[in-house]
Amino acid sequence: MIYNIFIDGEAGTTGLKVASRLASHPHVHVLHLDAAVRKDMSARLDMMAKADVAILCLPDAAAIDVAKAASTMDVCLIDASTAHRTNPDWAYGFAEMDAEQRHALASSKRISNPGCYPTGLIALLRPLINSGIIPPDADITVPAVSGYSGGGNAMIAMHEAGDLAPHLAYATDLAHKHVPEMQLYAGLDKAPLFMPSVGNFYAGMLVHLPLHAHQFSTPPTASSLYNLLRDWYADSALVAMGADRANDLGGQTSMAADSLAGQNNMELFVFANKDESQFWLTARLDNLGKGASGAAVQNMNIALGIAEDTALV
């Protein structure tokens, strides 16, 4: 069976990546609007009426507007913006989050695609909180770095003009828009201290979770944390450990942020110091892949009842 898919915002960074992934998808046909009417609400709604799934690759305000306009339509909406991520009426599109999430996505007509940074943090922290070894009231710090494509067309243009610094920190007001979904879906009682930054590379990211042994209900070992995460994602096609054991870089001498650029999977790592009083957990992914367009295609597959890794591996 062939399904009709409409990408609202197909000319943007995420929209182009979604279209690229769907080009090789055996079960979908992508509907296109003429460039002259891509911002015309009536034309977009007409296209949604013909679609089985519409993927919204829009700024937050525009995504809210089109979701309201399409509120009575039966089309499945997948919103790649931040707008609906903490809205209980929208299923959160991180399928690997827990055992029930795939069912929630398969049965929902409104799906919010996760943010790239939250995808990494939730993958690392939610299993620890749900397993009871980290309390929900823990003080959590999240240093992270992303490729400059995460800043959209404006930051890409800065790079092309030679105006982008080799490495820059931002969101120093501690009010990054990803923090609410990090807190909600990781299972925290209070907001994590999020420290994002951008490197001078196109795509890829590292999301770090530093922890002290005293933060755990029972002090773990690096191996026990590795095994917990490995078992949590054992049935996942797109999330796995990046090495065969804890304290291992998977045969590499360092951890490059862009190693998964262009891919749709996520790798997890666990490190500890010699006496295991400090732990360093890391998620590595492509901010445009598993952190955006790849996740949107995965969620589309789940919503349509297709194998979730179709066109992604």
Q: What CA dihedral angle connects 84, 86, 89 and 91, to 10 degrees?
A: 90
Amino acid letter for position 232:
W
Amino acid letter for position 94:
F
CA atoms within 13 A on the CB side of 8: 34
Q: Kindly state the tokens that stand for 233.
A: 């994602």
The whole-angstrom separation of Cα 28 and Cα 184 is 33
Name 78's Cβ contacts closer than 8 Å, sequence gap at least 6. Answer: 53, 54, 55, 56, 93, 111, 112, 113, 296, 299, 300, 303
The whole-angstrom separation of Cα 103 and Cα 99 is 8
CB atoms within 10 A of CB 21: 20
Active-site position among 105, 116, 270, 297: 116
Check if 116 is active-site. yes
Residues with a known catalytic role = 116
